[in-house]
Structure 1
Amino acid sequence: MTAREVIVVGGGLIGSLVAFTLRRAGADVLVLDAGRRGAAWRAAGGLLTPDGERLRGTPLEPDALAGLRHWPGLARDLETASGQPVFFREGVRRLKASGGEACTPGEASLHPPSVVRAARQTVQVVAAQVVGLDPVRGGVWVRAAAGEWHAQTVVLAAGAWSGAFGLPVTAVQGQALLLDSPAEVGALYGPLTRGFPPYALSRPDGVYVGATSRPSWATTPDPHATRWLLGVARQLVPEVKTPVQTRLVGLRPVTPDGLPLVAPHPGLPGVVVAAGHGRHGALLAPVTAARVLALVGAGVPA
């Protein structure tokens, strides 16, 4: 039984950046991560595009724009602290259905797996699937098959699986393709037809093409989705003719109103929630981490 100041349940993109931010503020942080198949960050594209994601005029616009402003500095801090690149780079193009293209200055992309690895370099991470959070006087008991821990504060950032702790969070499956190619295609959105536009971008592990969206907990690739994504690849990056390297499947955590939950847990004293970011986790992560730091408040040394 080990006592900690803050325990973060979930070591994905949101959880790891929350832990990184808390640790830099002086907190004693432990991350417990279940390593679940289908974790959203493993399949995420990494586009930081309020306009590409059509967030202008929505309730998420202020946080999306703030996240975009904070990412250049956060990327530098992550790389300095970890010694690892996160592959942040500016420049996102959007094709118009009427022809031509548009871009918004400052919009950018990064590599979510590299962000998670860099953030985890700065904190202790234990492989553990948390099964219970029990508030007690002076903190919270965290129960897992791997052991028990006591913390002054728990941050629940378990992605789609946060719903197991009494929250209105469920999964929307997203699928993408990673093409085995060194081609430089930049970051490109296709024209909008319905829903969200398809996109392609160069990453350090290949050319990423995404993405589908359907309510499902399935973590195996769907051949129908693969065929659709191959059509997207032919449309957006016809010069890339190399084979599919990986079919990626991620479970995006979503809420009924589409807004993230970043607040004290309504039924578990001592637990702060950071979940439900849907397809916007990377873009909103800096604001979420700052908000969690403010909520943890007195638990972090000045």
Structure 2
Amino acid sequence: MKKQHDVIIVGGGVIGSSIAFQLSKRHYRVLVVEKGTVAQKASSAAAGMLGAQNELEKDCTLFPIALKSRAMFPGLAEELKFLSNIDIELIQSGILRVVQTEQEVAHLQSVAAYQQNEGESVEWLSKEQVKAKEPQISQSIIGGLYMPNDGQVSPPLLTKALAQSAVNLGAEILEFTEVIDFLHENGHISGVRTGTDNFYAEKVIVAGGAWSKQILENLELSIDAYPVKGECFSVRTRGPIIKSSIFSTGAYIVPKSGDRLIVGATERSHTFDESVQLSGLLQLMMNAIQIIPALKQAKWEKTWAGIRPQTGDGLPYLGEHPRIKGLFIATGHYRNGILLAPITGLLMADLLERKESVNHPFRIDRLSREVNL
């Protein structure tokens, strides 16, 4: 029997799951096809910071939608808890971005001024104020930018909650099923081919993270995207030692439940190798201890790596294939996939329904040098 759906989503990470959730809410018959398991790869490797102000400083195209996406999380957390009974562990305790040089001070003070002019809550803290907020901070820290509205979630739980909520609203998920080709004729998508079967839909969305470029090569579409490996590790402490997520140029430290801290992340471009190298971990450890000396007494837990999708201009690709109608792409979120997942789900659902302008800044053909047409 012909397996017909309204929409097929290739990829069961946080982006694919968010799109599935939004489309299921609009009563679409959705099928998610995932070659591994839901919430795998980068969606499970991320620390989960919602750094709309921390990551996207000023004059950034992503800044407005990042703020909108961050604002969606409180309501989304309640909705997902109701639908899936999964707590995404939303914590809104702010992000503290610390500095150790006068050059960094000047830069972050300019960032603070810009964001204050934009109406965002942000506060420059002196060395003494940083120490008062986080007593375990090193004496080498000479100041910091505190962004109280930035926060964090558990990326695996967020992804699983989105996927389970979509299923509870009628979506189907096929795990351990790899898409090996696309079905299309006369310039219109008609489905996907897996290793075992064909599945049909008038709309298909590629949301394969760092692997999206490889998936799209079957359709002679080459996007300017590449993988970036990020290595992290986690430790446990005897009681909480920090309240805020702490970010610096050399490392970030994110407090989780159970007195657990995640420390990350290295950056190694153009590799899909998910192994962890000692050199990267050593530098992370040294940087983290320089910020929080008490980490010397922490107990080791584990280490891992995630492969993040970066693009040539740093903006994600959200839009329709330039030649094949009904085929959409949602990839290239790099370090902000967790933060941008809610707004991406909405944008892609609107694009499918032709409610969103095709001239938005994330369209697939935005620069001729980025897309080989």
Do both proteins adopt the same fold according to a TM-score greater than 0.5, normalized to the shorter chain? yes
Deviation readout 1:153-206 (Å, 9 max, x if unpaired): 1111000110020333220111111224464333333443xxxx5211122473
Q: Which residue of 2 aligns with 1:118?
A: 161
1:4/1:226 Cα in 2 relative to 1: closer, same or farther (>3 Å)?
A: same
Q: Which residue of 1 aligns with 2:286?
A: 231
Contact 1:38/1:249, CA 8 A, preserved across alignment: no
**Counterpart AA for 1:103:** Y
Identical columns (%)? 28
Q: Which residue of 1 aligns with 2:53?
A: 51
Structure showing greater Rg: 2
Structure 2 counterpart SS, 1:51: helix
Q: Which residue of 1 aligns with 2:210?
A: 160
CA apart distance, 1:100: 3.1
CA distance in 2, matches of 1:32, 1:181: 39
Q: Which residue of 1 aligns with 2:16?
A: 15
CA apart distance, 1:27: 1.2
Map 1:270-285 to 2 at 5 A. 270-285=326-341
Map 1:9-158 to 2 at 5 A. 9-35=10-36, 39-91=41-93, 92-97=95-100, 99-122=142-165, 123=167, 124-127=172-175, 128-136=177-185, 139-158=189-208
| Structure with the bigger percentage of strand | 1
Structure 1 counterpart SS, 2:7: strand
CA apart distance, 1:283: 1.4
| Structure with the bigger percentage of helix | 2
1:154/1:181 Cα in 2 relative to 1: closer, same or farther (>3 Å)?
A: farther
- TM-score, normalising length: structure 1: 0.90
CA distance in 1, matches of 2:244, 2:196: 41
CA distance in 2, matches of 1:20, 1:75: 13
Structure 2 residue ranges without an equivalent (≥5) = 106-141, 356-373
CA distance in 1, matches of 2:300, 2:11: 30
1:209/1:254 Cα in 2 relative to 1: closer, same or farther (>3 Å)?
A: same
Q: Is 1:254–2:310 an aligned residue pair? A: yes
Q: Which residue of 1 aligns with 2:264?
A: 210
Over the residues paired in the alignment, what is the CA RMSD in angstroms?
2.2
Contact 2:245/2:255, CA 8 A, preserved across alignment: no
Aligned residue among 167, 171, 174 for 2:230: 174
Deviation readout 1:29-72 (Å, 9 max, x if unpaired): 11111127982112111111122214322111111111111122
Structure 2 counterpart SS, 1:249: strand
Structure 2 counterpart SS, 1:281: helix
Paired residue total? 295
1:237/1:70 Cα in 2 relative to 1: closer, same or farther (>3 Å)?
A: same
CA apart distance, 1:114: 0.5
**Counterpart AA for 1:160:** A
CA apart distance, 1:147: 2.0
Deviation readout 1:118-144 (Å, 9 max, x if unpaired): 112122211111111122477422111
